Amino acid sequence: MTPDQGDDDRRTGLGDIQDPVAALDAIAAEISVAREMLARGDAVDLHGMEVRVTRFCEQLASLPPGSGQSVRPRMLGLIDALNVLEREMRQVFDETAREMGGFSARQRATAAYGRTGNR
């Protein structure tokens, strides 16, 4: 599963940041979905979000001077939300590493992929 909204930028408004607030809100919503997925134990793929954030930052830099100031508080909130997501992901990773630490390589593979039958 992924919080990725797909490549259709028209849904998120990130193809052209006429409304930077809406674009940031769309990214914040993706972060919330990623956190919910992580809390359920689902795999989280952040590639699509990373692409959109990069595109947003590039486009924000091309706006007239001073026009980015209005979204600064929202951007700082987004950074905080990303930091929380990172901490939660690291915690899950650390817990998984601890659980897997006592297993041999074969046991880890069996646990990860399930048994394929008797040989």
Q: What is the pTM of this model?
A: 0.68
Handedness of CA 47, 44, 7, 65 (dihedral sign): negative
Tokens of 80: 């905080």
Where helices occur in the chain by DSSP H, the ranges are: 9-12, 20-40, 47-61, 72-100, 105-113
Q: Which of 98, 109, 23 is nearest to 60 (CA)?
A: 23
For residue range 43-72, list pLDDT tens digits in order.
999 999 999 899 888 888 887 788 778 888
pLDDT given at position 3: 54
pLDDT given at position 70: 82
CB 81 within 8 A of CB 31: yes
Using 70 as the pLDDT threshold, list the residues of the chain that sit under it. Answer: 1-17, 102-103, 108, 114-119
